[in-house]
Structure 1
């Protein structure tokens, strides 16, 4: 049996996913956003949030767990705040709407705090902060997630790997882009390891009995661990409070798992905080200061064996350039899954093969 091709053009993959979602009944504009969100994650090397999520998104649609036609509505609004109800649409569609509202309000009033309820998995935080950077805005994004991490001292999952992302524009230097889970590693990476049949490093997770494990399957049955021990736990809890308790979304055990709960919507909550730099100093002056700051950091003395000091987001930027040039490599299991999805919806994954798309 011939091995399936594993390297794909990012444009080809994006077109494939977009067409699959359209064939599945998703409005074209929403399908484009979802596909873009998935492929941008793969480009940056965050494969756990990339096209590997296509299958579960489709299953959630088919089971009525995502409503791609739901109106994303403002519930409460003041000069500086908005509460958005996503009404169970795609997380990335809701997130994009919330981002637009946050940027619009920040430009008008200087800053904006937009809370979201009734959402789903919204992809990577970097997807949104990059868009804010393009408009010379600072953005902070938070989201809660379903139970995968125990409180410090506990064994059973109670909080999610609740991510935090921050984007800050610069001038000639690369922008500052922090995008991190509050766990040692995003649970999606453990999912990818399980799909590949690969072990995970010790310290990433514990099994269901609280024992350290390198078995990805055992880790998925157990819990991932917070980054920095009690500090990561505290930050995750803080994000859950803002994203869930404050907004009216689910929190703690009330954020439903998209892989396991087929009776209820996820009800994920997010927060978008946008800041207009011009309300502090002229944006060009700010960018020049950021460039100076970044250059001085990168010129700091290096520890033995270190060739270069990187800033947050730099490694992902380089990976994105590399994958745009040489293609995105997908694991055989993901290729098989996407190929089957393509046959179901009449979209040919082979057209996205890197050599054919060049």
Structure 2
């Protein structure tokens, strides 16, 4: 039998949630984790999608993540809270932090939730979309383990530390910026390696500092900062807020989820929520956003350009398409998920569109 490669997103999400439950993750947390992974795949960010299921489970099984850990507020005053995730799942901790930031924004206009003791928390857009649904603007950032050299260096020292920003609109699509501070997220190189594909020149260097198109050589070397010194500086700034300020790991003290099996990752995050109604009425804001976006899209286009897009627009279209057509996964990921399903007495093929 040929394994299917295309899956119904709802059924695949249900499969993943059940896997995490049977691995000992509380039901509510399992649902959040599965939702985070599927939303990443739907938006076309497959490096943060169900491909992460196996490594998440492996870290739980090895005792390197604790799905039962209490997520605690350890310091708070007015608009801010410092949260210790206790080494729980990153997306579960991130969801708690988002809720705290939004709640405080409702009271004070701005809410800040800083996080230590966390793990990989998925895509920043996952949280930005939830804030937008509550008529709030969100800035969220996270540090990550060493994958990128400082400008002028060869060896990885800082992470691809991502930044996401979300703002609602009215009739227009919302603004969603979700970016790594590297030219590309390291997860995309992992996906290329799994597919046996080359990567574009300029994404990474090998362990000797030479540019490479070999995904495996890139994984042994370093990804490069976007915009050279500017991306490096932004990554360092995110590390200061997410790591140095929170008490989480920073720089070389953020542990790699794939390589360090002795210690927790101790990732840090930083959430800033703004309640729009505390600035101007939400209807006025949305109308102004619509005017802004329409005006931008009416700008003269360069030769060969059919349409000017706003950040996040391609991902919204991708989501609509994949919800209708199904999520296509690499064969290696399908085989991995099928094996995980067998281990927990679950059938992956039930989520497939075709089983020929």
Question: Is the TM-score greater than 0.5?
Answer: yes
1: CA distance between counterparts of 2:270 and 2:340? 33
1: CA distance between counterparts of 2:131 and 2:118? 20
2: CA distance between counterparts of 1:220 and 1:255? 17
Q: In the alignment, what sits opposite 1:17?
A: 16
2: CA distance between counterparts of 1:174 and 1:355? 33
Q: In the alignment, what sits opposite 2:38?
A: 39
User: CA shift at 1:355, angstroms?
Assistant: 4.5
Q: In the alignment, what sits opposite 2:271?
A: 272
Q: Deviations over 1:129-170 (max 9, x none)?
A: 000000000000000000000000000000000000000000
Q: How does 1:107-122 map to 2 (within 5 A)?
A: 107-122=106-121
User: CA shift at 1:354, angstroms?
Assistant: 2.1
Give the TM-score of the pair, scaled to structure 1. Answer: 0.99
User: CA shift at 1:280, angstroms?
Assistant: 1.1
SS in 2 for 1:68: coil
2: CA distance between counterparts of 1:317 and 1:276? 23
Q: In the alignment, what sits opposite 2:318?
A: 319
Q: Deviations over 1:89-143 (max 9, x none)?
A: 0000000000000000100111011100000000000000000000000000000
2: CA distance between counterparts of 1:190 and 1:300? 35
User: CA shift at 1:3, angstroms?
Assistant: 2.9
- Count of aligned pairs: 355
SS in 2 for 1:118: strand
Q: How does 1:45-60 map to 2 (within 5 A)?
A: 45-60=44-59
Q: In the alignment, what sits opposite 1:236?
A: 235
1: CA distance between counterparts of 2:305 and 2:108? 44
Q: Which runs of 5+ in 1 are unaligned?
A: none
User: Could you tell me whether the CA contact under 8 Å between 2:104 and 2:110 is conserved in 1?
Assistant: yes
Q: Which runs of 5+ in 2 are unaligned?
A: none
2: CA distance between counterparts of 1:65 and 1:308? 47
User: Could you tell me whether the CA contact under 8 Å between 2:114 and 2:268 is conserved in 1?
Assistant: yes
SS in 2 for 1:145: coil
User: Could you tell me whether the CA contact under 8 Å between 2:4 and 2:354 is conserved in 1?
Assistant: no
Query: Which aligned runs of 4 or more in structure 1 are off by greater than 2 angstroms?
Result: none
User: CA shift at 1:80, angstroms?
Assistant: 1.3
Q: In the alignment, what sits opposite 2:350?
A: 351
User: CA shift at 1:310, angstroms?
Assistant: 0.3
Cα-Cα RMSD: 0.7
SS in 2 for 1:354: coil
User: CA shift at 1:200, angstroms?
Assistant: 0.1
SS in 2 for 1:116: strand
SS in 2 for 1:182: coil
User: CA shift at 1:279, angstroms?
Assistant: 1.3
Give the TM-score of the pair, scaled to structure 2. Answer: 0.99
Q: In the alignment, what sits opposite 1:188?
A: 187
2: CA distance between counterparts of 1:53 and 1:65? 15
SS in 1 for 2:113: strand
2: CA distance between counterparts of 1:294 and 1:168? 12
Q: In the alignment, what sits opposite 2:131?
A: 132
2: CA distance between counterparts of 1:341 and 1:128? 27
